[in-house]
Chains A and B, each alone.
Chain A
């Protein structure tokens, strides 16, 4: 179904380069962030392998390699390199990677207006915010650092839980809400870490 724009040869699967004439090809509709990096579509992933593939592909796709190429190749290189960078950014962050898997499965957790009722979490949220506000008001740098540390620990726990949920072969039919809820909790802890660190930095200066 696919044809190389340059030599017109037929291709089976979308590829970065035409196997015949080696010209750069557009991103195919069936290519997702995982296939762009040649990785299996799953939550578990080897970060070093991800970085290695990203760099190797960047070497061949980056617009720097096409500065003197014809307009069409320049455009395709920009398109491919953009998608590759986006893929790398998404996959190396476990929360974005999980959200992307949910999106591929039909649930866009971060779309506007999407919230997941999480009453159990409300009280905990208030406690965290209160502790943060207190430490900030007291100018308690050590306290702020402890809060950031605890929130980071919670993030690590959530990552483990999410990994466990994705291990269930039926996750996309049974556990989507469970995963989504943890992702929005993780977002909350991320904000705690960022705010505590910012407040801590402001204290130091």
Chain B
């Protein structure tokens, strides 16, 4: 062959080979997974989050939360994720079938959030926060609840308004707000916290071996 056709054929072939071998092949393997259905208990996992939590995921991604927080738990031989109680088992592709790839994340400048909304396991030393108000306070000023944090404040996700009638239930308890005013989360913030509290990837999956039995649901 002459050099030029060879050059173009090579450029094309190398790219096409990787496209088929890497992208198409992995898409064949994990591109169309379905939820795990346990027929006895009519138990389906994962369930597509909808409504406010879905809106919260958009807030999560569009504010770049995923640039400092991951949502994946590695096997115990690959890191201390499980020892640190970020999850009771590693996460696998099926955990994300209704998710966007972005939420898996790139860096851990902040802790992993895979199971931030999961129920508290027995004998757990991790701090479990089920109270949305903790999250509101943390988003408004992270250092008010985690003194050494270098997470930025998300004050712009809150609004200060005049109290009309009763003080709002989810208004922040702040010392420096004038009398007659309150700081409340916006709809975006409520959605974001609803999303965070929906994050629970602790449900056992058949493909994850050695995972502990499901935690007893909190009564």
A, B assembled together: no
Q: Which residues of B contact A (CB under 8 A)?
A: none
